[in-house]
Structure 1
């Protein structure tokens, strides 16, 4: 993999609008010129192309800028002084066999995206392999992934680039890390990364196994199972025989103690509850007679409470409870008599045949005859009314005629009605008056007949009226309106009240009092009735438990079911519960033991696995230390020589040593073997020389690509160190391609001179003058 750089072209990147660097197969390329003209930018461009990032800027960004800000208006790497053009970095590599060109490219459109403008974001710079150096074909066919770099330059090239191929300006950052972090930083270089990952995996597995075995929940569960097993063993009983299941309860919702499957899973609390329930029932059995008496007595109290309203009504009505029908009939008859009296009071002049028929006490012939009288009366009344009308009208007409005739013929003796001449006017008037009187007498004869008819009708109605009055008097004397109204208000409940009265008369007392509306009397009667009912209670001679009723009701639907239970039944039931509890206890003990053994087996397996993982981790750590020690030993001698040549005037001895301690450190020591790192006693120039020595030692031993990039080593080295460095490079690393920057022209010239004397080709590029050129390079070849 002896790849070297042939050409570099940079466009719109950092300090450069566009620049082309042609190395002309030089062994040494010096980038000259004052600070600020792009020497470091060239190194940044090479690093970005080969690694996909600029590590120095990424580290600075994390230290300087805030973490939360995501979007930035400008892109730090984009040079827009000549317009917003695409950013491009191209490098042509060559060896004896072939040439190829790699490029990093970012379009102007991509570079304007604010989300991609963070200085630690490099994803917009895509890698391409171009057909030739002059090509700008950034098509998808030429697109490559970062892993393509590894294929070309070897495994871990990108991770090791800053350790093996590029030394930043100033000093190697690796030296400024802690001694126990240096080896980890060089993990890829030592090829111990995979081992380190496996060690970390082992540690993670160990932690996981330790958490598993020390988990509080598991420990608590294990302790609970241990205690439970001990408790169950202590309660375990020998074979108790067998008892056939018999259902004792009769309630719809069967109590737990009477079920066939008592213990789906054993529970001491449930077992104690079942035993307590059956014990109470067993203690209650000898008190059956007392229960029967108490149940009957409570039944009497319940009877009183349930029928209290009916008892109050019975106390009010007494023996009159069943009189509603009689009173209804009497009320109906009185209403009929009242209607008859109203008809009779209307008189014979207006009574109708229908009304007469409604009256009671008629004989058939008499009623028929009375009907004929009503018909005759009606005819006479009609004629009498007509005659009276005619007579009145004739009288009016007569008077009117005579009045008008008198006005016309005051003294005329001729009759205006018939024309007869009465000689005298007065004689004519007297004749008219006489004739009028005769007509009136003729008309009033019908009225006399009508009076006779109504008189006979009145005579016929008189005995009927006397009978109605007598009957009304008789009925009214036996009718109690207040009782009737009270019974009607309780009509819905009268049947139940009557049944209650019958029950009391059959079993308690005779109801021999009548209705009363007096509240005091009613209350006194009610108290007497209640006292008589309570007198039916039986005296209790035995004391029952307070919860006797709850005990009975929880198991039996009716009290009679309790009476038929025998002591033997409960004895067998208690034994059945004990047997089933023992079986469930043994089953639970078995399951608890299985769960306990499972936890213990898991703990033992986890401990054994943890021990095996620890052995594996110890083995891997030993391998890592051995390999790291071997790797360090490969560079230790070279580093000692290089450091001695670069740090020539060091009061603690010539040359430094590397110590790995227990394989976990990387420490630089002087000949005095101090426990402190040598860097602590060095000046900045000496630290820079140490950095160069370590960097060149690593490159000498491990670098697969013969390229060395050193950014301005002369800034912190004196002339002696620079001379030593130049001799070291041209002698020990003459097969490498060196790209070195310097802001001092005499040092750059000196280095090229020494390389030229060694027969190596050199080239110088002045960055200040190159910056002013449009395209191409201003150089000096030797």
Structure 2
């Protein structure tokens, strides 16, 4: 294939807002101009399109930047000076009449995602094949993956691009790689990558086989199986006869020792546990009476502990436990009497018909009379003026006050209204009456009538009040407030406590105590009750094992089921377990022997496989060395010629050689014998010439695409080296399209002159001038 570049268009990439390069069918393109005007950016754009990455920047990022940071605000490749335009690189290739337009494209919105701005991330630069160079149809139909480049330009084209088609500015990085790593770096070029992969696979498999054979856990398993086989052989007994299976346990999921097949897999520990459990049950069978007594005694203690609070309430209230209903009725009557007392105290001036009707103790016909008086009072109150009402009320209040004062202080001479000392109590009463008379005289006729009416009503209420107070005293004597409050607190639990009292009475335990709120008295009563209950215990004559209850509960659902077991059943169970254990031991022995044979077979197979893979690895390594030697020999003569022409007079002889060290290394040698690599004894200019010679030798022998990109080859070369390079390019590699950059105008002109003299077309692009034109 003879694909060559005819046009390049770059938009919003690195230094360029937009640039278009028309190469036509030229054999040599020189990119001229000072540093900083985008010569290297042109090479970066071509490399990004053809390989999907810029290797130089990728390697620099891993060297200079931290690994952990993922988000970057700016993108190294996106030119934003012309606004937020999409990034695109477009190249047209021609091969005779055939044309191929490839492009890399990334929309501007891609760079708003900060993770896409890491300089070593290139996956968002998508590859497209366009129908023509003027097209911008970056649709899914035109999208291609990087593997498409391999289909167009050949297998491993992207991996070998930096070795065969592009020499970066400065020197070939391969020369500064360790001599035993150079061959691995050129693995794809030498077509030994597949062999190297197979060798690594062999190494990995051999490592796994070695680890498998020497695995400590497998060795321990093997040793344990051998010991177990020996132990089982000693344990297996002769024919033990047969016993029919009989289930003894009654719980839903029976214990293992009571299964028809107690040993799915034999275990010495399980066998011992089964025998111990059956023996424990056998020990308990003769102690059934003692167990019965223990259960009875524990039930009493459980009952005492469980009902502790109820027992406390029971002894606190005693025979008063049943008085809650009676007390609540008394409390209800007292509340009604207190309400009546409150109504009476409010006085005849404000009492209503409903309130009067609710009062107890009316004599025959007096309630009807009082109701009529309330109606008359209401009518008079409506007729009277506000002052009359106030005066009438004051008269009533004075009278009521004097009556109450007389009850408390019957001989007091001081006025309860103004605190004046009247010398004697009678003089004080006379003074109050005189004052009341004067107020009454000042009232109107209706007001006087109202005062008289209220006075008669108050006298009637006084009779009712005497009756109410008498009832309050009677009921208060019968009402035990403390008892009532305590009964209310246990009202929810009261039915259960009463039930408990009935049960105790049935057992012959009852109390005649009455209610007490004294804690010491209650504690003493509670202790007496507990002692009465404990007196019902049965004396135990035998000591039971500590785990007797657990032994029974793990096998029997009810205690009666245990009582039904006899010793002969348990003896038969032991014999049955022994028979089944013998059968399981035989089966386990066979399983152990099979597992042991399996481990031995696996070890033997692993040793055979290890031997085969060791021989395969040796064969592959020899083949790799042989092929590497053969491959190196293909470029050795050309490299010797090219290095001699480029380096010219070298103090250690004309031309360099390549040594492979049995295919394990790649070392450059001078004519003089030395154990050191030639690079170590060269100046920077000579190393640059060596780099060019090796690069061009590889291109001459292996390149499938006739394209050579060299970024500023004259940077470290003198005039003689440049002249030799120019002649080598135009004579040996004239079939290739060359793109060369230089910051020295005279060198660029010289190269174009020599190519033109050889009948090859050339073109020169001044990057400084182009940058001014597009800006």
TM-score, normalized by length of structure 2?
0.62
**Offset of 1:546 from its aligned partner?**
8.0
Partner of 2:241: 242
Change (3 A) 1:276 1:658: same
1:688 and 2:716 correspond: no
- Coordinate RMSD, CA, aligned: 4.2
Partner of 2:78: 78
Partner of 1:106: 106
Partner of 1:629: 629
User: What CA distance in whole angstroms lies between the structure 1 residues aligned with 2:563 and 2:146?
Assistant: 94
**Offset of 1:125 from its aligned partner?**
2.7
* Contact kept in structure 2, 1:552 and 1:559, CA below 8 Å: no
Partner of 1:9: 9
The CA deviation string for residues 83-132 of structure 1, in whole angstroms up to 9 with x for no partner, is 43333322222222323332323333434443322222323333333333
Change (3 A) 1:698 1:306: closer
User: What CA distance in whole angstroms lies between the structure 2 residues aligned with 1:164 and 1:635?
Assistant: 13
**Offset of 1:764 from its aligned partner?**
2.2
The CA deviation string for residues 163-222 of structure 1, in whole angstroms up to 9 with x for no partner, is 100100100111122223222221221222233333333333333444444444433333
SS in 1 for 2:584: helix
**How does 1:21-60 map onto structure 2 within 5 Å?**
21-60=21-60
Partner of 2:121: 121
User: What CA distance in whole angstroms lies between the structure 2 residues aligned with 1:306 and 1:145?
Assistant: 84
* Contact kept in structure 2, 1:91 and 1:103, CA below 8 Å: yes
**Offset of 1:718 from its aligned partner?**
1.7
User: What CA distance in whole angstroms lies between the structure 2 residues aligned with 1:561 and 1:114?
Assistant: 82
* Contact kept in structure 1, 2:629 and 2:662, CA below 8 Å: no
User: What CA distance in whole angstroms lies between the structure 1 residues aligned with 2:113 and 2:262?
Assistant: 74
Partner of 2:642: 642
The CA deviation string for residues 217-275 of structure 1, in whole angstroms up to 9 with x for no partner, is 433333322221222123233x3241333759688798866765443332223434555
User: What CA distance in whole angstroms lies between the structure 2 residues aligned with 1:631 and 1:174?
Assistant: 17
Partner of 2:599: 599
SS in 1 for 2:705: coil
* Contact kept in structure 1, 2:12 and 2:18, CA below 8 Å: yes
**Offset of 1:736 from its aligned partner?**
1.3
SS in 1 for 2:9: strand
Partner of 2:170: 170
Partner of 1:699: 699
**Offset of 1:690 from its aligned partner?**
1.2
User: What CA distance in whole angstroms lies between the structure 2 residues aligned with 1:551 and 1:707?
Assistant: 91
Partner of 1:196: 196
User: What CA distance in whole angstroms lies between the structure 2 residues aligned with 1:623 and 1:2?
Assistant: 33
**Offset of 1:552 from its aligned partner?**
12
Change (3 A) 1:594 1:170: same
Uncovered stretches (5+) of structure 1, i.e. residues with no partner: 286-290, 309-489, 498-525, 776-782
Question: Which moved further from structure 2: 24-33 or 152-161?
Answer: 24-33
User: What CA distance in whole angstroms lies between the structure 1 residues aligned with 2:772 and 2:98?
Assistant: 33
SS in 1 for 2:8: strand
Change (3 A) 1:136 1:263: closer
SS in 1 for 2:73: coil
**Offset of 1:630 from its aligned partner?**
1.6
SS in 2 for 1:92: strand
The CA deviation string for residues 597-625 of structure 1, in whole angstroms up to 9 with x for no partner, is 33333333334334333333333333322
Change (3 A) 1:583 1:137: closer
The CA deviation string for residues 487-506 of structure 1, in whole angstroms up to 9 with x for no partner, is xxx99889989xxxxxxxxx
User: What CA distance in whole angstroms lies between the structure 1 residues aligned with 2:31 and 2:298?
Assistant: 119
**How does 1:439-450 map onto structure 2 within 5 Å?**
none
SS in 1 for 2:768: helix
Partner of 1:394: none
Partner of 1:160: 160
* Contact kept in structure 2, 1:636 and 1:658, CA below 8 Å: yes
* Contact kept in structure 2, 1:110 and 1:124, CA below 8 Å: yes
**Offset of 1:632 from its aligned partner?**
1.4
SS in 1 for 2:128: strand
1:580 and 2:558 correspond: no
The CA deviation string for residues 612-650 of structure 1, in whole angstroms up to 9 with x for no partner, is 333333333333222222211111111122122222232
* Contact kept in structure 1, 2:280 and 2:551, CA below 8 Å: no
The CA deviation string for residues 58-77 of structure 1, in whole angstroms up to 9 with x for no partner, is 21122222333333333322
**Offset of 1:304 from its aligned partner?**
11
Partner of 2:230: 230
Change (3 A) 1:154 1:579: same
Partner of 1:617: 617
**Offset of 1:688 from its aligned partner?**
1.0
User: What CA distance in whole angstroms lies between the structure 1 residues aligned with 2:5 and 2:702?
Assistant: 19
Change (3 A) 1:235 1:93: same
User: What CA distance in whole angstroms lies between the structure 2 residues aligned with 1:102 and 1:299?
Assistant: 98
Partner of 1:468: none
* Contact kept in structure 1, 2:243 and 2:575, CA below 8 Å: no
User: What CA distance in whole angstroms lies between the structure 1 residues aligned with 2:695 and 2:97?
Assistant: 29
User: What CA distance in whole angstroms lies between the structure 2 residues aligned with 1:644 and 1:729?
Assistant: 14
User: What CA distance in whole angstroms lies between the structure 1 residues aligned with 2:4 and 2:94?
Assistant: 6
Equivalent residue pairs, number: 548
User: What CA distance in whole angstroms lies between the structure 1 residues aligned with 2:759 and 2:768?
Assistant: 28
**How does 1:355-394 map onto structure 2 within 5 Å?**
none
**Offset of 1:302 from its aligned partner?**
10
Change (3 A) 1:271 1:99: closer
Change (3 A) 1:247 1:153: closer
Structure number with greater Rg is 1
1:181 and 2:181 correspond: yes
* Contact kept in structure 2, 1:250 and 1:557, CA below 8 Å: no
Question: Which moved further from structure 2: 551-560 or 690-699?
Answer: 551-560
User: What CA distance in whole angstroms lies between the structure 1 residues aligned with 2:294 and 2:133?
Assistant: 117
**Offset of 1:712 from its aligned partner?**
0.7
Partner of 2:69: 69
User: What CA distance in whole angstroms lies between the structure 1 residues aligned with 2:623 and 2:629?
Assistant: 10
User: What CA distance in whole angstroms lies between the structure 1 residues aligned with 2:715 and 2:623?
Assistant: 41
User: What CA distance in whole angstroms lies between the structure 2 residues aligned with 1:88 and 1:491?
Assistant: 100
**How does 1:81-100 map onto structure 2 within 5 Å?**
81-100=81-100
The CA deviation string for residues 425-464 of structure 1, in whole angstroms up to 9 with x for no partner, is xxxxxxxxxxxxxxxxxxxxxxxxxxxxxxxxxxxxxxxx
User: What CA distance in whole angstroms lies between the structure 2 residues aligned with 1:304 and 1:25?
Assistant: 115
User: What CA distance in whole angstroms lies between the structure 2 residues aligned with 1:728 and 1:205?
Assistant: 49
* Contact kept in structure 2, 1:103 and 1:127, CA below 8 Å: yes
Change (3 A) 1:301 1:227: closer
The CA deviation string for residues 268-325 of structure 1, in whole angstroms up to 9 with x for no partner, is 234345556777899999xxxxx7xx988999999999999xxxxxxxxxxxxxxxxx
Change (3 A) 1:641 1:240: same
**How does 1:190-339 map onto structure 2 within 5 Å?**
190-237=190-237, 239-245=238-244, 260-274=260-274
User: What CA distance in whole angstroms lies between the structure 2 residues aligned with 1:696 and 1:72?
Assistant: 39
The CA deviation string for residues 356-384 of structure 1, in whole angstroms up to 9 with x for no partner, is xxxxxxxxxxxxxxxxxxxxxxxxxxxxx
Partner of 2:328: none
**Offset of 1:760 from its aligned partner?**
2.4
Change (3 A) 1:18 1:235: same
Partner of 1:766: 766
User: What CA distance in whole angstroms lies between the structure 2 residues aligned with 1:551 and 1:109?
Assistant: 74
* Contact kept in structure 2, 1:706 and 1:736, CA below 8 Å: yes
User: What CA distance in whole angstroms lies between the structure 2 residues aligned with 1:304 and 1:77?
Assistant: 92
Partner of 2:730: 730
**How does 1:330-729 map onto structure 2 within 5 Å?**
576-729=576-729
**Offset of 1:679 from its aligned partner?**
1.6
SS in 2 for 1:773: helix
